[in-house]
Amino acid sequence: MQGRLANGKAMDFSHLDRASKNLDRLLEYVSTLKQENRALKRKLEERSGQVIPKEITEEREKLITERERVRGRLENILETLDNALAVEKTK
């Protein structure tokens, strides 16, 4: 994607397009994780007062780990976008 800065310089913004698409994919993935987490919460609520099966506990731990991994990726993408914007401002 080509564009022009306020000073008239031509600039290639393809890195921002890629970052935006990656961010969209990650947000969709986070939405899926949230749905899975809600389903697990419902299962836990249904079993309140009962012993929580090991597989539910393990699945919950996997989701928490995955959420932390996705959060890290989102932070990296946002940092990349911030850096790209800072570079654009200095040109």
Residue 46 lies in a domain: yes
The domain total for the chain is 1
Task: Give the domain extent around 64.
Answer: 19-90
Distance CA 59, CA 54 (A): 9
| Global confidence as pTM | 0.46
In a domain, 6, yes or no: no
Residue 3 belongs to some domain of the structure? no
Which has the higher per-residue pLDDT, 90 or 77? 77
- Residue 25: enclosing H or E segment and its boundaries? helix 14-46
The answer as to whether 63 is a domain residue is yes
Decide if 28 is inside a domain.
Answer: yes
Average pLDDT of the segment spanning 76-87 = 84
Residues 16-73 pLDDT 10s: 778 888 888 888 888 888 898 888 888 887 777 666 677 878 888 888 898 898 988 8
pLDDT at residue 51 in the model: 67
Query: Would residue 11 count as lying in a domain?
Result: no
Residue pair 64/36 in contact (Cβ under 8 Å)? The answer is no
